[in-house]
Structure 1
Amino acid sequence: MASMANEIKILSGSSHPELAKLISDRLGIHIAKTMSLMHSNQETSVTIGESVRDEDVFIIQSTPPGDINNALMELLIMIHACRAASSRRITAVLPNFPYARQDKKDRSRAPISARLVANMLQTAGCSRASSAFR
């Protein structure tokens, strides 16, 4: 029987590697190798440096003020890369859910942006998102 550590991979986005380190240390699991690059035209490129095939993947990504859209795009690309690499399940761990303030329609013709973000996570391949820390 395989140990749980062999079935779980923790990946860290570039927005808060310290948080990912704290979580991985607490669980006793190393952080999988990833590389994120921001190109000169502001496009994000992500490479997963080890196999995530048939693994439960947890991607730790914060959305810091002033950089929400870049962090969100990096997260979506990481999710998509894991899905393309045949991960079993992909969970996005978000200390704060992007666009959560826009979770309901407050005037006519206004978008529900939080729903859009949730739909993008699902379309990218995310199985679930966790944004509650206590």
Structure 2
Amino acid sequence: MRPVSIVRFEQAYLAALLLGVLNILLSWDMLSAAYSADPNAAVLGTGFLIGSLAVSYGISLLLWFLTARKASSIAKWFLVVLFAFGVLSLLYSLAMGSWEGGMTGLFGVVGLLLQAVAVYFLFQPDARAWFATDDIAEGTFE
């Protein structure tokens, strides 16, 4: 049985991912226009952009699965590091004045806050005890 903190992590993390997908869908025209405006990216085509997003979300879902379902401490720390990069990216965008406001920016900040909640739950006492039983090497990929 998974501890309550892991269930809460899962809810917050998946909500953040869903919000990210919604954000991409709502800002698709702006995103693809910016992508097409870059000559280096335009050569690769929109299919590359879609593929990149699919791989990115695939990795996020794999990390969720390994963390929330397989008690992988390694996956947990990957999530923490990626979250830290997200925070640093937001701070850099704010410092450089390149942060985009509006609905897209709001969704991004709310998604980051949901990720912060998710990471918080990974370090609760019941979650720490659960990760102590990390059995990733024993049968995860069998």
Same fold, judged at TM 0.5 (above): no
- Give the TM-score, by structure 1 length: 0.28
Greater relative CO (CA pairs within 8 A, separation 6+): 2
More strand by share: 1
- Give the TM-score, by structure 2 length: 0.27
More helix by share: 2
